[in-house]
A and B are shown apart, each in its own frame.
Chain A
Amino acid sequence: GNSVTQMEGPVTLSEEAFLTINCTYTATGYPSLFWYVQYPGEGLQLLLKATKADDKGSNKGFEATYRKETTSFHLEKGSVQVSDSAVYFCALSVKAQKLVFGQGTRLTINP
């Protein structure tokens, strides 16, 4: 079946630190990969996506590269801000079918 495994949280960093949140996947077929973000008290929002191997998705300073050889889609940001504090979800879909989410990683950035 299809599944997503994310780095265990919570993650706490200081402002301007480098961020990596690991995500690996298992899929039958060729998936599209996504990162969604959930700010406190809100629904999920699409942060970035990649639809084929070696594609890099990017948005708001965040990046993730689709690595087929390692079945990974790690989220990175060079310098985090307090406003990046949120829960981050990695997800996949195969052949435009339903999204499968990881369990989420809570990120807290301290000033």
Chain B
Amino acid sequence: NAGVTQTPKFQVLKTGQSMTLQCAQDMNHNSMYWYRQDPGMGLRLIYYSASEGTTDKGEVPNGYNVSRLNKREFSLRLESAAPSQTSVYFCASSYTSNEQYFGPGTRLTVT
């Protein structure tokens, strides 16, 4: 049982480049989430998907897009990366939002 997996673990991009962060869960959870973690700011919700086929904006959605590919997979895309998007990105899943299970994170640096 792998839980929540994320790829890649580390990524360096130049300003303007695009990339997709992948997330998958094997717990049959309905809901999935993308957060970013910045020093001194805790976790901020970027987008979430309450169920397969639905996505909604969180607190900081600008500059990101998401796709809920199926029940297992929820990807986060940066179309044109900016230095302000340098952060650690976490994917999470839950049956209800009360108990979320987190992946190991992707450390992204945009130069």
Contacts and interface: CB of A to CB of B under 8 A. Distances in A.
Interface stretch (B12-20, B63-71, B90-98): B90-98
Contact of A46 (B33, B48, B58, B99): B99
Contacts of B104: 41-43
Contacts of B45: 98-99
Determine the main DSSP class of B at the interface with A. Answer: loop
Contact of B97 (A41, A89, A98): A98
A103 B103 contact: no
Nearest to A9: B40
A43 B99 contact: no
Determine the main DSSP class of A at the interface with B. Answer: loop
By size class, the interface of chain A is 20 to 34
A49 B99 contact: yes
By size class, the interface of chain B is 20 to 34
A32 B98 contact: yes
Contacts of A51: 98
Interface string A85-106: 0000100010011110111100
B58 A98 contact: yes
A83 interface: no
Interface string B56-97: 001000000000000000000000000000000010100011
A44 interface: yes
B97 A97 contact: yes
26 contacts: A32-B98, A34-B98, A34-B99, A41-B104, A43-B4, A43-B92, A43-B102, A43-B103, A44-B90, A44-B92, A44-B100, A44-B102, A46-B101, A51-B98, A89-B42, A89-B43, A93-B97, A96-B98, A98-B33, A98-B45, A98-B48, A98-B97, A99-B97, A102-B42, A103-B40, A103-B41
Interface of A: 32, 34, 41-46, 49, 51, 89, 93, 96-99, 101-104
Given A98-B45, A98-B48, 17 more contacts: A32-B98, A34-B99, A41-B104, A43-B4, A43-B102, A44-B90, A44-B100, A44-B102, A45-B102, A49-B99, A96-B97, A96-B98, A97-B97, A98-B33, A98-B58, A101-B42, A102-B42
